[in-house]
Structure 1
Amino acid sequence: MFAVTVRDHIMIAHSFTGAVFGPAQALHGATFVVDATFRRAELDADNIVVDIGRATEELHTALADLTYRNLDEHPDFAGVNTTTEYLAKVIAERLGARAGDGSLGEGGRSLASIAVTLHESHVASASFELTLS
């Protein structure tokens, strides 16, 4: 399996509901380094997985309405605990839709999967991998 990974970041505010979250139930900020890994079994006719420039642009677009936002006030997340794991899934699904609609180029339509990892710190991260084919 071939893979290409691009990186961006988001800065958000949010809070959680549930005793399991302890002090994170209060409004707090988080900065995530976001890696998106695009995978396919074979390279395309140009010997690439997906164009890195396009992948970088599409990741940035997928993150645009999240960064510098209080996710508690974002209409897409009403009543949802926006955990790191959940955000990784949302971002992967956004990128999957872009792959399907051709925004990542024709090669994007042949991707096997897209994995998104959000790094909370240098010692903690969470991921979600979306299977496409």
Structure 2
Amino acid sequence: MYSLTVADHVMIAHSFRGEAFGPAQRVHGATFVVEAEFRAPRLDDANLLVDIAAARVELRRILDSFDYSNLDTLPAFTGQNTTTEFLCFHVHGLLCGALAEGKLGAGGKDVVSVKVLLRESPLAWAAYEAEVPKRTAAA
């Protein structure tokens, strides 16, 4: 299995609901390093897994939708505790959408799984990994 990873970072503010979160129920900030790993069993005709430049651009586009924002105020996150784990899942879904739309190049059609990892610090991180949803013949 081949893999290719691109990375970027995002700065956010948010708060959590529920006593389990203690002082994090108050608005606080976080800076995350975001890694997106694409996996495929084969390379395309140019020996690419995905177009690395396109993958970097798409990850940045996704992160720009909430970078320097208070997530508590964004419609995309209404009613959610925007934990590190949840943000991994959110970014994963958007990256899978980009793959389905062909935004990561011809090799993207062979990507079978994506892993999104957010690093809160050198000592703590979370990830979400899943298969890419099957594409229909029309996609």
The TM tier, using the shorter chain, reads over 0.9
Query: Which residue of the partner structure matches residue 92 of structure 2?
Result: 92
Aligned equivalents of 1:110, 1:10: Cα separation in 2: 28
Per-residue CA deviations over 1:25-50 (Å, capped at 9, x if unaligned) read 00000000000001101111111111
Aligned pairs for 1:1-133 (under 5 A) are 1-132=1-132, 133=134
Tell me the CA shift for residue 130 of structure 1. Answer: 2.7
Q: Which runs of 5+ in 2 are unaligned?
A: 135-139
AA at the equivalent of 2:110: S
Aligned equivalents of 1:59, 1:128: Cα separation in 2: 15
Alignment identity in percent? 48
Instruction: Compute the RMSD of aligned alpha carbons.
Output: 0.8
**TM-score relative to the length of structure 1:** 0.97
AA at the equivalent of 2:38: F
**TM-score relative to the length of structure 2:** 0.93
Runs of 4+ in 1 over 2 A off after TM superposition: none
Query: Counterpart of 1:11 in 2: which secondary structure?
Result: strand
Per-residue CA deviations over 1:56-95 (Å, capped at 9, x if unaligned) read 0010011111100000000011111000000000001100
- Give the length in aligned residue pairs: 133
Q: Which runs of 5+ in 1 are unaligned?
A: none
